[in-house]
Amino acid sequence: MLYIGVDLGTSAVKLLLMNSEGHIEKIASREYALSFPHPGWSEQNPYDWFDQSMDGLKELLSECDKSQVAGISFGGQMHGLVTLDENDKVIRPAILWNDGRTTAETEYLNNEIGKDKLSQYTANIAFAGFTAPKILWMQKNEPDLWAKVKKIMLPKDYLAYRLSGTFCTDYSDASGMLLLDVKNKCWSKEMMEICHVTEEQLPKLFESYEVVGNLRPEIAAELGVSTGVKVIAGAGDNAAAAVGTGTVGTGRCNLSLGTSGTIFISSDKFGVDENNALHSFDHADGGYHLMGCMLSAASCNKWWMDEILKTKDYAGEQKGITTLGENHVFYLPYLMGERSPHNNPDARAMFIGMSMDTTREDMTQAILEGVAFGLRDSLEVARSLGIKIERSKICGGGAKSPLWKKIIAAVMNLKLDIIESEEGPGYGGAILAAVGCKEFPDVETACNKLVKVVDTVEPDPELVEKYEARYQEFKKLYPTVKCLF
């Protein structure tokens, strides 16, 4: 049988077709626009997600035996606020995960409602990117539009709704709304009251591998597949990427170097750190996970290359970097503010330590190192909980750089396992679809069979020592410059 995984990202939707043995038969992608109507705002049109996904699905299925297509599932950008009216029309552009407009609402939740109560209700505190602060912002600033809201959903769930007709979400994605009682896997009544939403406005909750319905007849006809094709709930992009890299069960780790950067640690037990520096979310395998998220990771390098150096030769710019662990330039990777562990939407990126002998290569290297140091910040929180991590999978666009992987392995002192498929959320979505269609009994069994490690980057002991000293210096920078933001 064939299974479709849909990775609904921030800049594009990537779709893949996987067979029962885990082999990727075909990949298609479609881009869509990202708008910044005000400084710090970030929005997208949900109609674009659907239109481009359908167009991509037609290409994906153009050469296969369509009678073999059994299921479709998703990995999707988290936290975005999608609102529909009583006629299922999109009320306003979706407010995305990297939108920073909700500073006042986030402060209200953390300071007036209180971080202790939020953590008690949801296992998390408020971050500017989360969905609940966006809801409060919309109520305050767009009351006429808010009055029309009948359905509140997350980005990938808009696709699931259009494809199946089921108003649904999964626990992993819902964990990032600040409306879910993560420990008990239900909507928090206290948070619904605080945010003035009803349970009727919120989607039905599913495990990521559960079937939510079948393709609508008109969708199946348009794609040329059976109406028996199952739609499986799917997961937030990081949980889906974790499935796609086999980071399931307990005590496993995945690093994702995408537009944002994450460290993801899976567990079969619920847990939360004392300061809520890491997110405590439900996992797509039915368990739990801790996650540190930095808002700008590979996007830092993309900004540097595209906007500043005006080049697309990413590999070429890294060729001249030959001396690691001795760079005198630091880079703070906070282009869009920062989430873990600082929780400061007003933080901004900066270079520190430049002198007359600073080179172009030094600046490029500082970008790569700064992102690695930012990920290390979250790893240190996990280590403070007594969690011992010695190796990690790694995925995302940034993971295609051998140099960046070498730096990260040394900065974090971790063995980095490279897997055969680096398709992350899309591959995880396809695996979830296979589990939902009973190809495998559970997610862990599927991952153990399908996810294959093909290489490992070992941390260089000499570089580990050098980067340890550099990291201790890096740690001092944010507290020193915080007053400037």
> Residues marked as binding for substrate?
78-79
Q: Taking every pair of C-alpha atoms in the chain, what is the biggest distance, in angstroms?
A: 66
Q: Which two tokens stand for residue 312?
A: 């697309």
CA dihedral 154, 158, 164, 168 (to 10 degrees): 20
- Calpha distance 427→244 (Å, rounded): 5
Please return the burial class of 346, using the count of CB atoms within 10 Å of its CB with bins 0-12, 13-18 and 19+. middle
Angle at 390 between CA 384 and CA 393, to 5 degrees: 110
- 57-61: long-range contacts (C-beta < 8 A, 24 or more apart)? 57/4, 57/15, 57/28, 57/223, 58/222, 58/223, 59/28, 60/4, 60/15, 60/16, 60/17, 60/26, 60/27, 60/28, 61/17, 61/223, 61/224, 61/225
- Residues at the annotated binding site? 78-79
Q: Which helix (H) or strand (E) holds 117?
A: helix 115-122
The SS3 of residue 247 is coil
Length of the chain: 485
**Other CB atoms within 10 Å distance of the CB of residue 248:** 28
Q: Which two tokens stand for residue 187?
A: 């909507």
DSSP 42-88: -EE-HHHHHHHHHHHHHHHTTTS-GGGEEEEEEEE--S-BEEE-TTS
Choice among 157, 173, 181, 237 that is catalytic:
237
- Shortest CA distance to 324 belongs to which of 368, 357, 374, 355? 368
237 is annotated as an active-site residue: yes
- Calpha distance 200→349 (Å, rounded): 41
Query: Which of the residues are catalytic?
Result: 237
